[in-house]
Amino acid sequence: MSLAAHELQLLQVIKRLEVGPIRVEHRRVIAPYKVFQGTQEDAIDLIYHFDEDVFDPAAPASQNLASMMGAQVALNYGLFCKEIVFQGHFDTYDQRFLEGMAKNTAREIFVKKFLEPNPFLRGNTASVPAVRMHNYLQSRISFTGSSGDSSYYSTPWATEPQRCAVLSSGGKDSLLSFGLLDELGYETHPIFINESGRHWFTALNAYRYFDAAYPRTSRVWTNSDRVFTWMLRHLPFIRKDFASVRSDDYPVRLWTVAVFVFGALPLMRKRGINHLIIGNEYDTTRKKISAARIAHYDGLYDQSRYFDNALTRYFQQKGWGICQFSILRHLSEILIQKILVERYPHLQENQVSCHAATLTDSRVYPCGKCEKCRRIVVMLTAIGAEPATCGYTPQQVERCLNSFLREPIHQEHAGAQHVAYLLTQKGILHSKIMKSVTVKERPEVMKIRIDADRAPVEGVPVSFRKRLFDLFLEYTGGGVRRSGQLWATCNLEADSELLKPYPFESSKIISQMEKSL
């Protein structure tokens, strides 16, 4: 064993994590999780529940999909287990995907949760050495009960190119994504993943509104949040009072979005939906080098376009025909908020972007204290919108604005600078007492940004691209293209690159889409 690997052994606190065997019902998936630690054994069931029949329990394809759904939570613990055993129905594509994502997630968790300040850690792990390794996955991963043969589970999905699913929540990104697609005439299906705990509060207002107004709305219930909490109790380096620690981050997990994505897949299969829309903006695709010279994705891999592309490749290898992408990657966070407020006010009034929302008189209200609330309030105020529309009181607005003077918000540096600039221009804040960020006009933040790495033109299918850009241009000063550290104006209507093909969509699908719209 290398010295570097030996240094990380203190994190390897679970002897074995077993997932499965999976139980499949017409409307439910049950995935037993078992932890073997010393002489102790503990168990909990991960559950997904649907409001309609989505599985044939006897069909290998249903068993395969259910097995992949049950496996996702476990990918957060490859740094902490000596062995992870998946008992279920997995082919070679599944096994390759799970092993690859477990490796990626182990590195991200090591860098973001152990090499950076983490209020949830205790003991020696709060000062783990910054060792450089080729692979941070400490678990031996094995699969039992699997045929491994892709043809055994292979039943290609029949999908329609005009059908889109939006992975929905109460946040601005999914609200705007739905509004755009619905206006442009796509058959749009909002799919809400209902976690069993308080996280559901952020989506509740939007779900109730959509459920009453749009008949294609669906909800999938899962207790994944309970399983995450249960796993924390088996990690001795996590504070026992972790539930009472006020933080905008989770203690160790970084593979979360896939838990929701795979929860939406059974509905997509049943309804023949071709496109899965994830609400992510320009700043969620990052590549960084840590102080210890470890390359990583800044803990945002499952919000990046790399994640979208990896999932799409996997879906197409499986014959499921799904393309996953964001239609908002060329936009900044404040520009997304602006378009939502001005074009779809009926959706924006259901926005809840908060880490600690509360339910009062059957409606959810934001806490007005967390970092996300501070960010939303300052952006709404900067664009001249009224924070009260989505539940903020005058006292909360004042507190958030005053806090912004002292504390930075979790936003790309250019975006935060431009927000500060807009607030000072309006006379709401004064640059002389601004300590959180430099006040500077950053006009590129309010434009459509073309960036070969973070937001390439071909990141959105051709069949969506032009009409979306035409709509965005109504709210921007045009488009800009990144060249090194600079932004150069570009003519989006005449730019030949706008015709670059989306790498995962065939010409046949494009032709079908154009005919249907």
DSSP state of 294: -
pTM value is 0.93
pLDDT < 50: residue spans in the chain: 1, 3, 509-517
* Confidence (pLDDT) at 433: 76
Distances (CA, A) of 349 to 165, 334, 342, 401, 443: 22, 16, 11, 20, 27
Domain boundaries along the sequence of the chain: 3-163+197-325, 366-445, 447-516
Instruction: Give 320-358 as a DSSP string.
Output: ---EEE-S-TTS-HHHHHHHHHHH-HHHHTT----SS-E
* Confidence (pLDDT) at 506: 63
**pLDDT tens track for 238-270:** 999 988 888 778 999 999 999 999 999 999 999
* Confidence (pLDDT) at 147: 63
Angle between helices 92-109 and 60-71 (to 10 degrees): 10
With helix as H, strand as E and coil as C, how does 173-214 read?
HHHHHHHHHHHCCCEEEEEEEEECCHHHHHHHHHHHHHHHHC
